[in-house]
Chain A
């Protein structure tokens, strides 16, 4: 018996828009994944601590506030500080294309923007987890 894919979905900072993340949570549930949702207004440190305790395969951070270039570096630093190197970090939401390039360069594995079809989200997660391999 192998484990299901575990994913933590998080909303960080002053961003009260969670309809998108709830739709994604529902899609991933229907794809057979175990989804932990943190709720709104978490700090990067809290999200990193939760991802470690939940031992998730994937940490998905949804941001519609425009604060992604501030928040992702803190999350990446937090994971590094805890010695975590096998959690796949995903960004989701509304971000300019040049920021997507910058985020991937700093260590976000993939950024799924607002117009990503649900099946693409599911396939991307399954592919990234398969590439990482068992742990």
Chain B
């Protein structure tokens, strides 16, 4: 049988650079065992130094390749980089195939890079909570940048990206009308727009579309707010990455020095609190109300009660436990 190492011992080891201990702490975060909560409280106290960058975009827009090239450039500048790469869980089996490492082969074996793959595992805040605790592990152990690479575009990963200091939205050329279609969603959250695959001839159209969209929004925002940048990159040719790093650093500077940036940090804290509460609530709820769930949903399915009545009955028997 394997031996159990207490989480506070793992924190001691992680803080002196033991990558196996860091990795095990991330697993404990995913498992949400109460045993690890004091250890993560300690890590949270130590964290707060790293620049956390969320990278999102439609599937196939080149996120993983961009992360790989960006990380190579940051490594060349002597920075240590942690990467949390999120891939979707199967809605049927709950399993996953996480393949972000395939595109990051250039980073393999570099001890200054820590890559952790995480699966989304449905909703209820668990993913956001666990991934941000994994970010804390990297932050507290001295990584300069922590990159959260989300799954392809949708609601949940917009949420995770919002927990980063700087949100990068990757758009690939040739998606034309799709950009129009997602304008009301993901493009709004970008601090930096990357147009990837700019070695392609149709990239200029995407760049100008984005710039036009940004000028349309200018009239509404005050002078203190951050003006999103549009950065063309080509991961294949390694172009645009100095500009991207400059944009990231400027945004980090803005976060530190502006009141709007400080507000953003408070919003991130609020987001984490709500996601953690949501996760605790859903864990306890499912643990205590599972038998009732089957019974009441049966009644609902037979149309003997209404959806509201079913929900009220389900909630009526639930009592949240107080803090341990």
Contact = CB atoms under 8 A, between A and B. Distances in A.
Interface of A: 1-4, 6, 25-26, 28-39, 41-43, 45-46, 49-50, 52-55, 82-86, 132-135
Contacts of B95: 4, 28-35
Contacts of B174: none
A49 to B, nearest CB: 6
Contact of B31 (A3, A29, A49, A52): A3
A86 to B, nearest CB: 4
Interface string B102-126: 1001001101001111010000001
B164 interface: no
Interface string B168-211: 00000000000000000000000000000000000000000000
Given A3-B31, A53-B114, A25 B97 contact: yes
A38 B106 CA distance: 12
Contact of A132 (B1, B90, B93, B115): B1
B159 interface: no
Q: Interface centre among B95, B96, B99, B101, by most A CB within 10 Å?
A: B95
B308 interface: no
Q: Tell me the dominant secondary structure on chain B's binding face.
A: mixed
Which 5 A/B pairs are nearest by Cβ-Cβ distance? A39-B102, A55-B23, A135-B2, A29-B95, A46-B108
B94 A4 contact: yes
Interface of B: 1-5, 19-20, 22-24, 26-27, 30-32, 89-90, 92-99, 101-102, 105, 108-109, 111, 114-117, 119, 126, 283
Nearest to B83: A53
A34 B120 CA distance: 10
B13 to A, nearest CB: 10
B286 to A, nearest CB: 9
A2 B96 CA distance: 16
Contact of B4 (A6, A29, A135): A135
Contact of B20 (A42, A84, A134): A84
A132 B2 contact: yes
Contacts of A35: 95-98
Contacts of A6: 27
A26 B97 CA distance: 7
A37 B96 CA distance: 10
16 contacts: A1-B31, A6-B27, A29-B93, A30-B93, A33-B95, A34-B117, A35-B98, A37-B97, A49-B19, A50-B115, A54-B23, A55-B20, A55-B24, A133-B2, A134-B4, A135-B4
A43 B32 CA distance: 33
Contacts of A132: 1-2
Given A53-B114, A53-B116, A135-B3, A29 B102 contact: no
Given A3-B31, A32-B94, A36-B98, A53 B115 contact: yes
B4 A34 contact: no
A80 B79 CA distance: 29
A46 B27 CA distance: 20
A28 B299 CA distance: 35
Contacts of B22: 53
B131 to A, nearest CB: 14
B98 A34 contact: yes
Contacts of A46: 108-109
A49 B20 contact: no
B96 A29 contact: yes
A31 B94 CA distance: 8
Contacts of A43: 108-109
A85 to B, nearest CB: 8
A54 B3 CA distance: 19
A39 B99 contact: yes
Given A2-B31, A37-B99, A52 B93 contact: no
